[in-house]
Structure 1
């Protein structure tokens, strides 16, 4: 064995710390976005907000080196080229440098998530601890904001020349319940971080813990008034109990099957449009938000796109269009519509290439061996039915992480017949820090 061969695994392990660190700093920044925005602004340390983006730039380099050069993934190369071309197209579509820079920054978390392609999330010991602490603090934050008015509520800050609001206290239609955001910047994201951090943490916890803290999490999400998130968490708990009642050998196949069937949620908005399009939305009613999405959020962007750029129905209109870069930095802001669905919003930006990519993601899921990623696929597919999830950055990062197996050599090996033993309740790994285990099926990694 040569000297270079002896040193290569160690170099790989060191480089793999980057995506875990990036996920951790993104998660901390976004889950506590209201707090961090407020204190970094009043102490004139606004630059700290962009530290995760700087780390994500390193992940962009790692994605190129590992997925394209080392894994020789043609799909990874095509995805990188498509994103870059869409950034250029978005610049010409939106018409300002600020919009282009914002779009580039918006897409960086994708590369962080993709860098997890050949590793299991369960093997990052300290990262899992950060996620667990995020869950507990996010729940506490929602409870605190129910009884105390926090100083960051209603605080306004400037980003790339646009004034944004870190958080605001308001009331949901049809009741006296306040939409509480806890330590996050808004109520939907507070609910999202509770949901995702609970789902990840629950995999290695007992059923008793899951039922106890799951119930607390459901109540906390109820306080945020995020109905979609609460429904997803209830379904997750029911399926978690169901799967753990199965024989040991049947559990992982059941998880993979559930993850695969969750892709059917992609078609839910189109079914709703066919069934309920044109239905009058009654203000202050329970179904107002979903009817508004059916009539406006999911349809109007395509109407506007046919006026602005008809070919965009096939090619997409570029990264940032019908997303917050257009809303905040473009002369086309009057055409902006809140696209409350991840798949619709992403198709608008990337067109048919995104549809082809999702076919590959679905195909790769048949060979996925990471229970964490399969769990996240189920969670994000259902959550994003009514949420775009591009802001804050951690939302898009989690989606990219759950899809990352599409670039993995390990998945290809598993589909070819290799087996990787996985259990629902995994012991904490023995490795220290953010360094992941390297599965045997992942070759030289």
Structure 2
């Protein structure tokens, strides 16, 4: 057992794997959001919806204690201060208390993900079981909604004074395919949970299982009509097979290289804007969705920001701006534009400090040793090209988890120029995921 692992139990109550409990709670709530919203509402148990957020507050405390106090990470302190300042800026920008509260709640999952900084996701055995069950049920849910109209479809509920829709049955442009949402609240998130839960579960499964269940997952995602998600899953399956064909000693370096190269996807929207900006989007055509993003989703927020708050192009306009808190709770709702890209949407809120943070995240990836985090980096980087992924909360949480290595003791030590090696994981970490015959690491969480 490493020295770090020996210290973690001293964190009193919140040392009891609270990050795993929070992730599991968020995942279950959001993957089955349509169903849960419906039944908690009709049985007048709406408060249960916010239980994961309450657990996430404990993770905020744990982030401060573990990353800032124990790891002495200056970056962690700066990130915390930046988020708090952005919440204040967002309050003045959006102009209502409800928008500020919604923005704070929106950012809580970030701290849950960051709390995984010094641990491997593979060591949380019970959590992995929850994720696996989520995958199976999410696929089943999509198939069920193809044949049965679920009671939560079209159901409206109130949240912080805003009326929202738990589920909606509608049709994709260019055909008669229904956009099915399964047990989730919308089709995009149903596809996302299938993608992410499959990617995490597949790491410890045989290649045969991956190909069989992966094919079923691809068809289920096709039913949701989420083209981006389907493309990402197909690419993931191809790369998984190719990596497992490599000699064992070459597999992990290949995984890390794939994760590093996936950051190039950040520049894809800018390339598309240069190439296709101004091209007319024909309604009901195959390219309508991507051309709408190029001409509107990725550009108009910056145009509006120059009118509302020019300095925001550098500082950001605060947490919640050009996100659902602005759409639902702000007088600036007429200026809201759906920003369908995580990196563009986050830059709008946090400005240049977010760019500096991502440079540090990229640098930390070179030293990452957790195959789960590296896998998620690849998945979320490609998925978020056309999705903001701040709602539901699990989407943002998964991104934060994949970036969490930047706050690890290893990364903090490297930035400080400490030459003394800090052993935090087994010498060949997480490679068992690519050798299904190897027993799982000892310990259970």
TM-score with structure 1 length normalisation? 0.92
Paired residue secondary structure (2:441): helix
Q: 1:174 to 1:443 in 2, by over 3 A?
A: closer
Q: CA deviation at 1:436?
A: 20
Deviations 1:112-145 (A, max 9, x none): 0000000000000000000000000000000000
C-alpha displacement of 1:2: 18
Q: How far 1:289 moved relative to its partner?
A: 0.2
Aligned residue number for residue 31 of structure 1: 31
CA distance, structure 2, for counterparts of residue 261 and residue 159 of structure 1: 40
Give the RMSD, CA atoms, in angstroms.
4.8
Taking a change above 3 Å as real, the CA distance of residues 35 and 433 of structure 1, as seen in their structure-2 partners, is farther
Query: In 2, distance between residues paired with 1:148 and 1:444?
Result: 39
Checking the alignment, whether the CA contact within 8 Å between 2:203 and 2:434 is kept in structure 1 is no
Report the equivalent of 1:305.
Answer: 305
Contact 2:174–2:285 at 8 Å: present in 1 too? yes
Asked whether the 8 Å contact 1:63–1:114 carries over to 2, the reply is: yes
After superposition, the C-alpha distances for 1:187-240 in whole angstroms (9 at most, x for unaligned) are 000000000000000000000000000000000000000000000000000000
Instruction: Please report how far the alpha carbon of residue 93 of structure 1 lies from its aligned counterpart in structure 2 after TM superposition.
Output: 0.2
Shift of 1:409: 1.2
The answer as to whether partners of 1:124 and 1:434 remain within 8 angstroms in 2 is no
Aligned to 1:260: 260
Out of 345-354 and 408-417, give the one that drifted further.
408-417
Q: Judging changes above 3 Å, is the alpha-carbon distance between structure 1 residues 142 and 286 closer, same or farther for their aligned structure 2 residues? A: same
Shift of 1:427: 15
Size of the aligned set, in residue pairs, is 445
Measured in 2, the distance between the counterparts of 1:241 and 1:434 equals 10
Q: CA deviation at 1:410?
A: 3.2
CA contact (8 A) 1:34 1:152 kept: yes
Give per-residue Cα distances to partners, 1:74-117, cap 9 Å, x unaligned. 00000000000000000000000000000000000000000000
Where 2:325 maps in the other structure, the secondary structure is helix
* Preserved CA contact (<8 Å) 1:59 1:111: yes
Q: For 1:274-305, what per-residue CA distance to the aligned partner results, in whole angstroms no more than 9, with x for missing partners?
A: 00000000001000000000000000000000
> Matched residues in 1 for 2:279 and 2:161: separation?
39
CA pair 62-11 structure 1, distance change in 2 beyond 3 A:
closer
Alignment check: 8 A CA contact 2:340 2:386 kept: yes
- What is the CA distance between 1:431 and its match in structure 2? 18
Instruction: Return the alpha-carbon distance in structure 2 between the equivalents of residues 59 and 179 of structure 1.
Output: 35
CA deviation digits over 1:331-371, x for unaligned, max 9?
00000000000000000000000000000000000000000
Give the Cα separation in 1 of the matches to 2:287 and 2:4.
63
Instruction: Summarize the Cα distance change of 1:119–1:7 in structure 2 as closer, same or farther, 3 Å threshold.
Output: closer
Runs of 4+ displaced beyond 3 Å? 1-14, 410-445
Structure-2 change in CA distance of 1:442 and 1:427 (3 Å): closer
- 8 A contact 2:2–2:424 mirrored in 1: no
Asked if the contact 1:203/1:424 (under 8 Å) is kept, the reply is no
**Aligned counterpart, 1:193:** 193
SS in 1 for 2:434: coil
Where do 1:142-291 residues align within 5 Å?
A: 142-291=142-291
